[in-house]
Structure 1
Amino acid sequence: MYYPTIRGCIQALKNLEIWLDKAEQHAAAKGFDVGVLLTSRLAPEPSSIS
């Protein structure tokens, strides 16, 4: 049970690395700081809605 769990975690981390690389390439192509993508939100904080 240990090894299948670790394999899944490794694959998830590899996928995350690919997504981050693509985000970095996209930011460079569009001419903005990649930090903008890392700090942006899709929706406002629930506490700031009301």
Structure 2
Amino acid sequence: MCGIIGVTGVPDAARVAYLGLYSLQHRGQESGGMVAVDGEGVARSHRGMGL
């Protein structure tokens, strides 16, 4: 199984994203990743194997 969370337009987006990812950590344990859009509109991604 997998889990997806999206955060937009929230002043404390990093905290909300952290809490969302924390609550989903038991799902998709084979791999995980994150995409964030910076202030210039450039999408940056990170992914890896395991938790």
> TM-score normalized by structure 1?
0.34
Q: Which has the higher helix share?
A: 1
Larger radius of gyration: 1
TM-score by length of 2: 0.34
Structure number having the greater strand percentage: 2
More relative contact order in 1 or in 2 (CA 8 Å, sep 6+)?
A: 2
